[in-house]
Every structure is written in C-alpha cells, then in structure tokens.
Amino acid sequence: MRFTNISTISSHPDEETIAPASPLEMLLGCHARIRHFVQLSRTLAGAEGAAPLEVAEAATAIFRYFSYALPLHQADESDTLFPRLQNALPQGGLVREAADAMIEQHKAIDELVAELLSICTSLTHHPESLPSLERRFEYVTCALEQVFAAHLRLEETVIFPALSDLLTPAQMDEMAREINQRRRPKLTIHFPQ
Ligand SMILES: [Fe+2]
Ligand SMILES: [Fe+2]
C-alpha cells in the first residue's frame, strides 16, 4: 500500500536553504513546511500496512525536517526577530506579550519534537515496529498538531503583521541577511601542514 508520495516529501527540508525575498516570506515559507511535516507525521502514524521501505523513508524525512530545519526557523524567531521586537516594544502590550509567549511555546514544542525524533529514529531502523509504536506516535502527533495550530496562528495573526510598523526597512534587511546566513553551509578549510 502506498500511503504517500515520498519523493515530494524528501525534497522539502532542502528548500529551507532557498531564501525568498523578505523575512516575512521566509518565515511564512517555514510555516508551510511545518504544516506539511506535521501532516506527514499524521499520515505515517496511521500507515499500518505500508511497505517497510516507505515507512523508513517517511520517518527519515520527518526526522530530517524536525532535527535540522525546524531549529533554524526557531532561531530565526528567537535570535533574529525577538531581540528586535524587545527593543521596539520594551513595555507590555499585545504584540510584546505574544512575542514572550512565542518564546515559551518554542520550549514546549522542543519537548514534543524530541519525542517525535525518538519515534522516527526507531522507525528508520525498524520500520516493522510501526504497529507497536502507533499509540505513542498518535499521541505525539496529536499534541504537535494542537500546539502548532495555536503557535502558528499567534505568530501569523499577531506578531508577523506588526513587523512592518515596528521595524525599519533597514532592520528588515538585517533580519533577511541573518536568516540567510543561518542557512549557509559552514565550510571548514583544512590547510596543508
Ligand atoms: Fe515559532
Ligand atoms: Fe514560526
């Protein structure tokens, strides 16, 4: 039974390295990929009877996304966006409270993602264990769906729309540079002795 199209899934984490024009577009592009991979987790969690190779490939794709690309997106928000919002909004207010909540929610997301990564590691090496992991997988997927639904909504409806009023065009350009820099491969050059 083919439960999903693996080829369309496996390419997504690498797209994290291709940067659209503005910081807002980049952040929203990440959100589209988060939704895609949460949906893939939902599909895989209920894919009992799928071919072991497909289970292993989907688990590997989910692992790659949540271990590599999601931390980059969270760093975009925690290390690039949040400090600038803090400077622009030192006092309380709706947007500042939402930004503080965003940082707290990242910690809760990280705990659930750690559990998801553990399950995906098991499935990558032992795809036949899907039935025995199904309950745990369902639980963590359901929790991630709920947490991300609230988290992405908060960012998209309260924080992101405020950026153009709170930050200058120069700050937006700086953010774009930082977001791009974060995705550049780190090259280590070894000089001959
Ligand atoms: Fe976030
Ligand atoms: Fe986000």
Q: Domain ranges for the chain, please list them.
A: 28-182
Q: For residue 92, which phi and psi values (nearest 5 degrees)?
A: -65, -145
| 176, 84 contact by CB (below 8 A) | no
**In the chain, % of residues over pLDDT 70:** 85
Q: What pLDDT, in 10s, does the model give residues 39-76?
A: 999 999 999 999 999 999 999 999 999 999 999 999 99
Task: Compute, in angstroms, the gap from residue 18 CA to the centroid of ligand 2.
Answer: 17
Judged against a pLDDT cut of 90, whether residue 175 lies above it is answered with: yes
Q: For domain 28-182, is the CATH number 1.20.120.520?
A: yes
Task: Compute, in angstroms, the gap from residue 8 CA to the centroid of ligand 2.
Answer: 22
Judged against a pLDDT cut of 80, whether residue 16 lies above it is answered with: no
The neighbourhood of ligand 2, an ion, using CB within 5 A, equals 155
| Mean pLDDT confidence for 161-168 | 94
DSSP state of 47: -
Task: Compute, in angstroms, the gap from residue 102 CA to the centroid of ligand 2.
Answer: 8
Q: Residue 168 region, left (φ>0) first, then alpha (ψ -120 to 50), else beta? A: beta
Task: Compute, in angstroms, the gap from residue 106 CA to the centroid of ligand 1.
Answer: 6
Q: What pLDDT, in 10s, does the model give residues 82-96?
A: 999 999 997 789 999
pTM: 0.86
Task: Find the ligand nearest to 113 CA.
Answer: 1
